[in-house]
Structure 1
């Protein structure tokens, strides 16, 4: 299972030293180079009673149910488990090209005992409800997304009538989409200082700035973290403020090849969760040069969990003994459940007490 893989932008005047040159960013951009606290975490592997997962990319938990998304599932993309014991219950999101099957699953959301999945290849959001026994998920409805929404690779549920999806046209940062899949509007811009890319290569720029999202309706915070580079964006959708934090690796680096953005810098973040009190992220920090040099010998994933405040201030850096991709944070029990694509037993628990 190894090796497969801003609402407001204000006026100018702040400086950062990226590659040792001062660069001018907008007033809403802040920078960090470290964390006030750093801890090592030792993971406890959770033994599963089934060998289903090829590339466990995402995990979410609600009540006594856990769902693991398999990015490269052979037969199904989603698997339902009992929690906390992780006894296997059933699978969903059957792989195939029939109307009731999925060509891909980019992400899923588990909220109020309802599951939404995203299929980028079909440009569809699908809702699933739990069966009366709670042991399986049943397909309830499918929403086809507007053609103006270019290849949606992530989504967040804003409320009962709206989704938020990244904009990959390069013209804006986010799309607001209604419950029927229609585009309402686009907001924000990519917070880059690469004027050449903004003028000539917006789609490639948007690809390089691919971000993972999470939204917490309890505090109104939407966080976006870049898959390349080290950029964290925090939108407060209650007061319409927007903060951008850039770490020491800077914004995503890429070159344009045949209209596509090809990464040249580092692998950045691979997951984000906004809890009621903080923003938790998985960070890799491995350069593509090193990945190529090692030619498949490096573990796949990130060995860091970066924690930020709801204003994007760096709080804590956790150094892990496993390389992970997806996380679920339970602040009540002070635990983090993570997915490790390098191991046949891919679910790991970390205590942050």
Structure 2
């Protein structure tokens, strides 16, 4: 595999008791889906990374973890790739960017972790808005006139909630939602690091869903003055212990820790998640890539019901789906990075999946 620099959380040989149920057991229906390679030369894609689809323009915006480009715009029908955000310290350059969500049909929200900013960029790469946050989130999404945060690091030590609300100015409002009852007695910041997740939002129902990167933890919330839990699946807890040192917070994962959900994407009807379920057996870049690769796509609806499990014929890193749920586009690996298309029209036209 290509030489990709990624951050690995140190693993150790400790183990502990933890809830364990294979999340595949929730899905009564399973469908095999066949890939079709899209017309993008593999040398132009040099890392995995979250992707956001813009159907009308036939392009995706993709995170990049290697090289001078932090975000790429890929026209998947034209074999064309452009840098969307450059690494650097100059004007309109960045050190660490993470895709948040599609802002509208022609722009995206991006989180600058280093500067604690939310940046809105249109599809030319032009920055149309910058919001300075008053706190440091690991994950954040915009929901109407406010923001939902997961992984709030600069918090009051007495705040033991999992999520938080920020107002439209990026200021802390309140915390809500309990961490899973994993019996781990480490401090709250260790839990924040252990339960890092991906988030998606449904603006029609005003709901958000999260999927944890370690273990198998899925949650669905209705947004209200104080958001409340609609559905949760706490099948496998992360295995972790505090490994903090003066000046920074850190955790160590146990050797039996499970790599959980590796990506999430949503339409107005469904929530699509990639789930690994593997252990990190080799502590290297290649080992992490192998642990993230998966054939399993879990599909939920916005009531939290388990609709079906899709099994792809190639292993995947990241995914996105058209608004009508008829096509899934994914980044996968088959001797190299590739973009694939999957036809879902017959699956979701089936009355049994509705």
* Alpha carbons 2:264, 2:319 under 8 Å: kept: yes
TM-score scaled by structure 1?
A: 0.80
* Alpha carbons 2:118, 2:133 under 8 Å: kept: yes
Aligned length: 317
Question: Is 1:316 aligned with 2:317?
Answer: no
The alpha carbon displacement at 1:292 in A equals 4.7
Question: Is 1:260 aligned with 2:246?
Answer: no
Task: For 2:326 and 2:36, locate their aligned partners in 1 and report how far apart those are by CA, in whole Å.
Answer: 14
The alpha carbon displacement at 1:4 in A equals 5.2
TM-score scaled by structure 2?
A: 0.79
The alpha carbon displacement at 1:206 in A equals 1.0
Partner SS, residue 93 of structure 2: coil
The residue aligned with 2:11 is: none
* Alpha carbons 2:36, 2:342 under 8 Å: kept: yes
Task: For 2:147 and 2:141, locate their aligned partners in 1 and report how far apart those are by CA, in whole Å.
Answer: 6
Task: For 2:286 and 2:269, locate their aligned partners in 1 and report how far apart those are by CA, in whole Å.
Answer: 40
Task: For 1:342 and 1:138, locate their aligned partners in 2 and report how far apart those are by CA, in whole Å.
Answer: 34
Residues 19 and 212 (structure 1), Cα distance of their counterparts in 2 relative to 1, 3 Å cut: closer
The alpha carbon displacement at 1:182 in A equals 2.1
The residue aligned with 1:338 is: 330
More displaced 10-residue stretch of structure 1: 234-243 or 301-310: 234-243
CA RMSD, Structure 1 to Structure 2 (Å) = 2.9
Q: After superposition, what is the alpha-carbon deviation per residue over 1:248-284, rounded to whole angstroms, capped at 9, x for unaligned?
A: 4x12221222352222211000111232222211101
Runs of 5+ consecutive residues of structure 2 not aligned to the other structure:
7-17, 154-158, 347-354
The alpha carbon displacement at 1:19 in A equals 5.4
Partner SS, residue 122 of structure 1: coil
Select 1:245's aligned residue among 222, 227, 232.
232
Runs of 5+ consecutive residues of structure 1 not aligned to the other structure:
6-16, 21-30, 131-135
* Alpha carbons 1:71, 1:106 under 8 Å: kept: no
The residue aligned with 1:80 is: 73
Task: For 2:198 and 2:285, locate their aligned partners in 1 and report how far apart those are by CA, in whole Å.
Answer: 26
Task: For 1:115 and 1:323, locate their aligned partners in 2 and report how far apart those are by CA, in whole Å.
Answer: 27
Question: Is 1:181 aligned with 2:170?
Answer: yes
* Alpha carbons 2:327, 2:341 under 8 Å: kept: yes
Task: For 1:144 and 1:2, locate their aligned partners in 2 and report how far apart those are by CA, in whole Å.
Answer: 34
